[in-house]
Structure 1
Amino acid sequence: MSERNISVTSAAARRKKSVAEEPVTSVLPPDASFDPDYEFDQDGEVLAALGYKPEFKREFSLFTTFCVSFAVLGLLPSFASTLYYGMGYAGTGGMTWGWIVAMVGVQCVAMSMAELCSSMPTSGGLYYAAAVLAPPGYGPFAAWITGWSNWLVQITGAPSVNYGTSAMLLAAASISHPSYIPQDWHVFLLTVLLMLIHGVMSSMPTGWLAKTNSFGSTFNFIALIIVLILIPAGTDRESRGLSKFTPSSEVWGTIGNTTDWPDGIAVLLSFVAVLWTMSGYDAPFHLAEECSNANVAAPRAIVMTSTLGGIFGWFLQLVVAYTVVDIPGAIDSDLGQPFAAYLMQCLPQKIVMAVLSLTIIAGFFMGQGCMIAASRVTFAYARDGCFPLSRYWSHVNTRTRTPVNAVWFNVVIGILMLLLIFGGSVSIGALFSVGAIAAEVAFITPVFIRVFFVGNRFRPGPWNLGRFSIPIGCVGIAFVCLMIPILNFPSVKGADLTYVPPDMNWTILVYGGPMFIITVWWFVSARKWFKGPKVNVDHLMLGAEGNLIDGKGGDGASSEGVGVGKLADEAKMV
């Protein structure tokens, strides 16, 4: 072969590795090309096309990614922790058909998110998608709002889960020793201990984390099945002069409205339990850089989690709705944990302790999964300079190959948030409602941009919804737009609303306060320096003119600040 033919072949090979030919939507210009001398595997090539160099070992498979996600979802401990809202606001009617209604909206959001994940499988996830898809000039702001909202839900995940687990553990102690009455500081110290344990576990290597979460997720699933069988089989309602199960007419037809709002609003208020329980299905998006075959496996894990979570969550709702004896008694019990109080109403004590034990262990692994997902989000945002001292939080430990600094940053923030325990049950409840509203805002923002600003110009990945993409996205958007104001409603109104801690809904303060500060920060300072996702593959990429994108190629602009400005405009919908 002549030198001329060799040169042509080399040039052709170089062109075959352009960003435009990868099945992803990238922040890079479409004519950016991979360095043909650099060795990529399939996932590494996809990630480089998104603008990032591989930094993690890809030791998560579809199953282990699903396991982390299902562990974060934690149906059994999530349900137990939020029973106060699901059953307390709207009774059995809200628990049964209310769950079905809520799951339609949740599933639409999950499928739209999975489609984005296939198109942009990076740890930045929703934040990256919002940046790339936004109209010219608005990418950095869309990324800023999406990223911070998603970070708020992530950092409230482990504290709220561990708080619920601690409350159940102390309630079990109170059942065994009736003279013991749990105090706020007992719950606080036990929750802090769980946070520290999870911090240590989350600092371990990726392979160890994958195995641990596979076990935890498997235990969660087995525990859920056992509880679904054990409660109806072991109920002793008949010995208390009641029918074995509550009649279906009462279960499905009774709205036990304990709020001052009409029944319809009360049912919508009870959705906070559904939204918080189901908010963990985004975990595969944040683990995409540690997952093999990420742009197929990660979106599949998202849909598997939301689908199975929705089905089995509804079964759990039915079991409780058909066996509960006294809803007000469970909500206001001295045990301080409605799920434990409910179990005491319908089961012998030994079975109560067995169910609580399974729930507590499942809650422990759920908290671990939340800590892992949160650390990956913190790492991804710090990598792009979102936080003060970002260079410390984005550091990957050379020994474990995990973002250890990000883990402990989240642990400290979570412990500080747990001080809300001393404000009473309503104030600490803000962690749950904030988790729900922050998740929905972060989940739906890039979907909204994709539906209304990108439309049919969207470049889907290998997993996509086809012609149903926009209709499904519209349903998800409508559901979230309905729920965001509802999640800020207090449970009382009129003369009963005194705007003091026992009555007010703290969501508007705990979520709205930080988001207001973050928005002001944007307009005062961040808009001048924050440009969205930063390209860090300059040593692996070739520019349009054959020059390296390293601050010297192309138009001479430094890649340190490359984000969603000029590059995103050029890359829009290849």
Structure 2
Amino acid sequence: MSSMDKSTGLDKTPSKGSVYVDVNHDPVTTVLPNGDVPYADHPMDADERVIVALGYKQEFKREFSLWTTFCVSFAVLGLLPSFASTLSYGMGYAGTAGMVWGWIIAMLFIQCVAMSMAELCSAMPTSGGLYYAAAVLAPPGYGPFASWITGWSNWIGQLVGAPSVDYSLAAMILAAASLQNPDYVPTPWQTWLLTTLIMLLHAVISSMPTKWVAWFNSWGSTFNMLALVAVIILIPAGTKNEPKFAPSREVWGTITNGTDFPNGVAVLMTFVSVIWTMSGYDAPFHLSEECSNANIAAPRAIVMTSGIGGLMGWFLQLVAAYTVRDIDAVLNSDLGQPWASYLLQVMPRKIALTILTLTIICGFSMGQGCMLAASRVTYAYARDDCFPLSSFWKQVNSRTKTPVNAVILNTILGVLMCLLMLAGNVAIGALFSIGAISQFVAFAIPISIRVFFVGNRFRRGPWHLGPFGPYIGGMGVLFVLLMVPILCLPSTTGSHLKPNLMNWTSLVWGAPMLGVSIWWVVDAHKWFQGPKVNVEHAIHPVEEERIIDVGIGSKGADPSS
């Protein structure tokens, strides 16, 4: 027998790290303690039952569908502006062979990470995302620490997303101005001021009501996809060079090593462009509390984003690899923006400016998607009191029903981080590596816990990988372990390595992570307990035969029960 709430359909039999059973919905993996049951004073639909079962109140309007959630995620991915922003990494480290082979190899493993994340999202669709999953799945006693490290790494990656995109967008806008007026040379201060203006615009849009934000991102992402297809067609059709295309043996077989490392390492270093470009597919996880049918639609949006994005991104790599003529000229142009330099090298000026304009519009949509996703992550972590002044940052605006204060915090910090551009291209370039490494470390922690510590005790949601889940997740985790040191390598070594050529990723990402680790040891372990339940709940007696326990978070649990 079980204790059933007839008004909500919730079976009052959860346990710490258990599946919370809802007779009208697929089970979810919950952080609620043994026997805890949320109070319900009103009838709830399926999505609200799920979020309440996870321990949270339904505070957002669920006005994102599968399509609009995918649109935000695809906008965050921003293939065209992302490719434009990171062209110097893919092309500069290993030439055309590194571009085409590097993208294929990296994408195979990135798909493993994405699919494993989607499986977690289906089991626990909450804005906290990976942070929540790490807390629930970690072995007894380690949940708060796993959640703390995952949350901070993920938040740092989310935080640098909009500033890095908007910096690249500002650089492209000023490069377009230089194309129109060759006498104009942008200054770092002008780039910073324009970046700040763009971030303020994105902050305003991300603070609007959910329905308006969903509409904006739907149109922006649709334009993003159409522009991407148009560029993939326009460049090979309109290239001014003769012959139009480089021989395949050169494109696929010639590694132009722009580093002091062996060719194999140089190809691995090109992965930074792939990883940074493809780090936005977790957005549906963070938007799951605003998405209807979340534990099916959100994981589907994750997989759609990584799959479609990976394939179309590779097509764009092929186009650039077959048409570029002089890589050194692209990387060292006075325009200061490799994508603009490349377009001017292979296209007539008017068409190059048209494509650059399309890229700028797509970049604006991408930056706004990054700001949106980051604000939801900040809200979710502030809701669990992770930050100083969390009570302020976690407030949801009563008029817009969106976390406006979290948007304000991210905007202020992003504007300050963009001051790095005043220290030179290498310093501001660290934002791209930080975004890549911090996001994928955060992705890997809960997936590795699920693969290596939970095993077959993991209770799947309605979207899952079946018996292949642990193997797919394991491949993704091993890829991340390989890439963490690679992402920290400078392109030069020995006497060639100067401070202005140093890769500062290990310092700019490592220092904050070391700081929060010390904070944990000194103080945070005393008060931080992981995801903080904010629904009214009470302990009810449960009958032993009805408990469904996955054995996570409690000793001696029987996985077969």
TM-score range, shorter chain: over 0.9
TM-score using structure 2 length? 0.94
Instruction: Give the structure 2 partner of residue 463 of structure 1.
Output: 463
Report SS of the residue matched to 1:56. Answer: coil
Residue deviations 1:320-340 (CA, integer Å, cap 9, x gap): 000001001100111000010
For residues 390 and 60 of structure 1, what CA distance do their matches in structure 2 show?
A: 26
> Partners in 2 of 1:115 and 1:384 — Cα distance?
23
CA contact 2:284–2:301 (8 Å) conserved in 1: yes
Deviations, residues 38-69 of structure 1 (Å, cap 9, x unaligned): 31110000001100010000000000000000
1:414 alignment partner in structure 2: 414
Alignment partner of 1:16 is 2:11: yes
Q: Does 1:203 align with 2:211?
A: no
Q: Structure 1 residues 64, 17: CA separation in 2 closer, same or farther (over 3 Å shift)?
A: farther
Residue 99 (structure 1) aligned with residue 103 (structure 2) = yes
Cα offset for 1:355? 0.3
2:155 is aligned with 1:151: yes
**Residue of structure 1 in register with 2:548 after alignment:** none
Q: 1:186 Cα deviation (Å)?
A: 1.0
Distance 1:40 1:125 in 2: 22
Structure 2 CA distance for partners of 1:570 and 1:543, relative to 1, 3 Å = farther
Can you give the 5+ residue segments of structure 1 that lack an aligned partner in the other structure? 1-6, 547-565
Out of 493, 509, 512, which is 2:510 matched to? 512
Contact 1:26 1:571 in 2 (8 A): no
SS in 2 for 1:373: helix
Instruction: List, as ranges, runs of 4+ consecutive aligned residues in structure 1 with deviation greater than 6 Å.
Output: 7-15, 570-574
Q: Cα distance, 1:244 vs. partner?
A: 1.1
Shift of 1:544: 2.3
Cα drift, residue 11 of structure 1: 8.3
SS in 2 for 1:25: strand
- 1:543 aligns with 539
Q: Report deviation, 1:496.
A: 1.4
Match of 1:42 among 39, 46, 51: 46
- Secondary structure in structure 2 of the residue aligned to 1:121: coil
In the alignment, is the contact (CA less than 8 A) between 2:28 and 2:50 conserved in 1?
A: yes
Deviations 1:399-420 (CA, angstroms, capped at 9, x unpaired): 0000000001000000000010
Which of residues 163, 180, 185 in structure 1 aligns to 2:184? 180
8 Å contact 1:132–1:139 — kept in the other structure?
yes
Counterpart of 1:359 in structure 2 is 359
Question: How many Å apart are 1:21 and its aligned residue?
Answer: 1.1
Residue 554 of structure 1: aligned partner: none
Q: Deviations over 1:520-571 (max 9, x none)?
A: 1110110111110001112xx341249xxxxxxxxxxxxxxxxxxx994389
The residue that corresponds to 2:116 in the other structure is 112
Report the AA paired with residue 503 of structure 1.
L
Which residue does the alignment assign to 1:233? Answer: 237
Deviations 1:198-225 (A, max 9, x none): 1111110000000000000001000000
Say whether 1:78 aligns with 2:74: no
- Name whichever of 19-28 and 64-73 sits farther off: 19-28
Could you say what secondary structure the match of 2:131 adopts?
A: helix
Matched residue, 2:545: none
Q: CA offsets per residue over residues 427-474 of structure 1, 9 Å max, x none?
A: 100000000000110001000000010010001100000100011011
- Is contact 1:17-1:36 (8 Å) kept? no
Compared with structure 1, are the counterparts of its residues 505 and 30 closer, same or farther at alpha carbon in structure 2 (3 Å cutoff)?
Answer: same
Alpha carbons of structure 1 residues 123 and 426: separation in structure 2 relative to 1, 3 Å: same
Percent identity, aligned pairs only? 64
| CA shift digits 1:479-512 (9 cap, x unpaired) | 10000000001111122123x1x12111011100
8 A Cα contact 1:162 1:364, kept in partner: yes
1:569 paired with 2:557, answer: no
- The CA RMSD over aligned residues, in Å, is 1.9
The aligned length equals: 541
Residue 28 of structure 2: SS of its match in structure 1? coil
Cα distance in 1, alignment partners of residues 52 and 99 from structure 2: 45
In 2, Cα distance between equivalents of 1:257 and 1:16: 61
3-state DSSP of counterpart to 1:386? coil
**Normalised by the size of structure 1, how large is the TM-score?**
0.92
The answer for the alignment partner of 2:263 in structure 1 is 263
Structure 2 gap segments, 5+ residues each: 15-19, 543-550
SS in 1 for 2:462: coil
After superposition, residues 283-362 of structure 1 pair within 5 angstroms as 283-362=283-362
Distance 1:175 1:396, change over 3 A: same
Matching residue of 2:368: 368
Cα distance in structure 1, aligned partners of 2:255 and 2:73 = 32
Which residue of the partner structure matches residue 549 of structure 1? none
Q: Give how far 1:30 is off.
A: 5.2
In the aligned structure 2, how far is the partner of 1:9 from the partner of 1:310? Answer: 45
The alpha carbon displacement at 1:97 in A equals 1.3
